[in-house]
Amino acid sequence: MTGSATRLDETPLDEQEVPEAGTAGGALYRRVAADLREAITTGAYGEAGRLPAEGALAERYGVSRGTVRQALAVLRADGLVTSRRGTRRVVLGNARVQSFSELLSFTHWARAMGEEPGGRLESLVRRPADAAEREQLRLEPGAEVYVTLRLRTLSGSAVMVERTVYPPHVGVLVAQLPPDVVSHTEHLREHGILFTDADHTIDVVAANAEDAKLLGCRRGAPLLRERRRTTDPTGCPVEWSQDRYLPGTVAFSVHNSMVTSALSRHARADD
């Protein structure tokens, strides 16, 4: 009923897999979290039902209370459950889970939706970085960057224009990429470039001449813009991208709470 409903010792430990995603990470608390997530989204605790007490869960899974709390913190951050002192946790909603790579990679995202991702590399140039690019990618004056322009499609129809600026050590890899590679993000990962953190800014802009030509819309037509700066595990910027979507093709969702708020609202786009 409740996923496994028994101790996790019975779960095989031999699954290696990718360190990300997958319902069974190596850490104990991740497996507890995965099991509880499964139970919650399946409706085992009802629409707005109450979860068992931390102590009860600890006993059920054969782990300490601290580990249970670590697992529950994951679910709370995802907006799956509430938590307040004095009462058991309450189911908040059926969460929209989405792995990190699924969010950064257009290809992953499209496939996860069952759609066929497509795209075309329109251009790739290497040139000196301007001031803004140097600041975003933390580069020295005089440093060069690689800039790509891609048109992305879903099931054949144009959806988004993506302009990405790469620092040199990443750019050389992108430049060597065969032109028919579907997911450059995947390719970069295989070459040791990891994406772990990202800052996103979302607003609306008018299509310029280039956007209009590629997307097949009028010049000045509104586009949903997402600017994104991604860093690797060492905190080093590896990508600065600007994606422009046709209206009606995409929406972004965020959950936040009084204890965990990664969302903020800004006046005018400072650009």
Question: What's the burial of 200, exposed, middle or buried (CB within 10 Å: 0-12/13-18/19+)?
Answer: middle
Q: How far is CA 144 from the centre of its chain?
A: 27
Compute the least distance from the CB of residue 85 to DNA, in Å: 4
- Using the 8-state DSSP alphabet, how is residue 248 labeled? T
CA distance 241 to 226: 8
Name which position in 29, 45, 61, 109 contacts its own copies (CB under 8 A). Answer: 109
Number of residues near DNA (by CB under 7 A): 28
- Stretch in the footprint of its own copies (CB under 8 A) among 35-43, 84-92, 124-132, 162-170: 84-92
Toward DNA, which CB reaches closer, 58 or 159? Answer: 58
- Using the 8-state DSSP alphabet, how is residue 180 labeled? T
Interface with its own copies, residue 143, by CB under 8 A: no
- End-to-end CA, the chain: 52
Give the angle 234-75-68 at the CA atoms, nearest 5°.
95
- Stretch in the footprint of its own copies (CB under 8 A) among 3-11, 34-42, 121-129, 255-263: 255-263
Q: Which of residues 14-43 bind its own copies (CB under 8 A)?
A: 20
In 3-state terms, what secondary structure has residue 184? helix
CA distance 129 to 228: 17
Interface with DNA, residue 55, by CB under 7 A: yes
The position carrying tokens 């965020």 is 254
Interface with DNA, residue 66, by CB under 7 A: yes
In the complex, the residues that contact its own copies under the rule CB under 8 A are: 20, 47-48, 77-79, 81-82, 84, 87, 90-93, 96-100, 102-103, 109, 113, 115, 138, 154, 195-206, 221-224, 231, 233-236, 247-258, 260-270
